């Protein structure tokens, strides 16, 4: 590490695990041309900026954020990135595992074009707001695991209409309700003994105690009728339109 607080990984290094740099202080990282893989998991990492040799064949960087060489995958945003909000660029299609792990960002916006969020992409992140695009098709297991602020701020999630697959434990357990678009036929869950199985549209049930509403319309907008303090039912907007009842 030099006097400016920049950790410069030595040329010739092919594999890096950031947990090797758990200094407990905010740092800037510079990765070499030789780098081929990087592990973002580290208990006390405080990274604010990632940069990489322009001749690296696997990765690229822009504005302190690490991407794949073709920039279709967002590899990692430093967990102490020096702002409160971040917008994923429109050229990104995939959010990598642990890309936002432990992030101190408050709001993340995924631009149209993002199709997949890998497992643990936001694990332990402090975000309280997430904007998901209609282009999103896959949310892998544990994607938003331990995102407690997100669960507190959003007691219900209405997933984009383009969603096709949802992995096990994709959302914080503290979430109150999830609205599942018509495109989704099944959601992966884990049994009490850790075995994977699927909850299907035909055999609906709540997942992990989270109220799961399977929408009958591909359109996101629904109307909620409160039946009692303990129960709610969801009726498609089209039902009201047929009756000539508006807002």
Give me the DSSP letters along 39-71.
Answer: E---TT-EEEEEEE-TT-SSEEEETTEEEETTS
| Structure confidence at residue 222 as a pLDDT band (50, 70, 90) | very low
| Strongest mean pLDDT among 92-101, 154-163, 190-199 | 92-101
Is 70 exceeded by the pLDDT of residue 227?
Answer: no
Q: How far apart are CA 196 and CA 198, in angstroms?
A: 7
DSSP 181: P
Answer for the pair 128, 152: CB distance below 8 angstroms, yes or no. Answer: yes
**What percent of the chain is modeled with pLDDT above 70?**
70
DSSP 9: P
pLDDT of 234: 43
| Farthest CA pair distance, the chain | 71
pLDDT of 24: 64
In angstroms, what CA-CA distances link 234 with 103, 207, 219, 237? Answer: 34, 17, 13, 9
**How many Cβ atoms sit within 10 Å of the Cβ of residue 99?**
27
pLDDT of 2: 55
pLDDT of 233: 39
Lowest mean pLDDT, pick from 71-75, 221-225, 232-236: 221-225
| Strongest mean pLDDT among 113-122, 179-188, 232-241 | 113-122
- What long-range pairs does 84-90 form, CB within 8 A, spacing at least 24? 85/109, 87/111, 88/114, 89/62
pLDDT of 5: 75
Is 90 exceeded by the pLDDT of residue 6?
Answer: no
| Structure confidence at residue 78 as a pLDDT band (50, 70, 90) | very high
Give the pairing type, strands 138-139 and 165-166. Answer: parallel
Tokens of 120: 């643990």
pLDDT of 150: 85
Is 60 exceeded by the pLDDT of residue 245?
Answer: no
**105-153 confidence digits (pLDDT tens):** 999 999 999 999 999 999 999 999 999 999 999 999 889 988 888 878 7
Q: How far apart are CA 242 and CA 6, in angstroms?
A: 63
Q: How far apart are CA 69 and CA 59, in angstroms?
A: 4
pLDDT of 76: 93
Lowest mean pLDDT, pick from 16-20, 48-52, 105-109, 232-236: 232-236
Q: Is 71 left (phi over 0), alpha (psi -120 to 50) or beta?
A: left
Nearest Cα to 170, choosing from 128, 142, 150, 189?
142
pLDDT of 213: 72
pLDDT of 235: 44
**What percent of the chain is modeled with pLDDT above 90?**
44
Pure H helices in the chain: 148-153, 237-242
| Structure confidence at residue 173 as a pLDDT band (50, 70, 90) | low
């Amino acid at each position: 590490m030099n006097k400016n607080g920049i950790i410069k990984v030595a040329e010739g290094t092919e594999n890096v695990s950031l947990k090797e740099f758990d200094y407990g202080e905010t740092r800037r990282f510079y990765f070499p041309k030789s780098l081929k893989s990087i592990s973002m998991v580290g208990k006390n990492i405080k990274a604010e900026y990632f940069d990489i040799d322009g001749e690296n064949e696997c990765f690229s960087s822009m504005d302190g954020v690490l991407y794949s060489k073709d920039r279709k995958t967002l590899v990692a945003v430093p967990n102490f990135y020096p702002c409160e909000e971040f917008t994923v660029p429109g050229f990104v299609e995939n959010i990598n595992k642990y890309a936002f792990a432990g992030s101190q960002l408050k709001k993340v916006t995924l631009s149209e074009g993002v199709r997949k969020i890998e497992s643990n992409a936001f694990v332990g992140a402090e975000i309280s707001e997430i904007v998901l695009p209609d282009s999103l098709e896959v949310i892998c297991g544990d994607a938003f695991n331990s995102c407690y602020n997100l669960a507190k701020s959003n007691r219900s999630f209405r997933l984009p209409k383009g969603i096709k697959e949802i992995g096990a434990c994709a959302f914080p357990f503290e979430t109150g309700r999830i609205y599942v678009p018509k495109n989704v036929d099944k959601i992966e869950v884990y049994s009490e003994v850790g075995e994977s199985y699927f909850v299907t549209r035909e055999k609906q049930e709540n997942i992990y105690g989270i109220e799961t509403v399977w929408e009958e319309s591909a359109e996101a907008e629904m109307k909620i009728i409160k039946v009692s303090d303990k129960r709610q039912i969801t009726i498609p907007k089209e039902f009201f339109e047929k009756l000539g009842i508006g807002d």
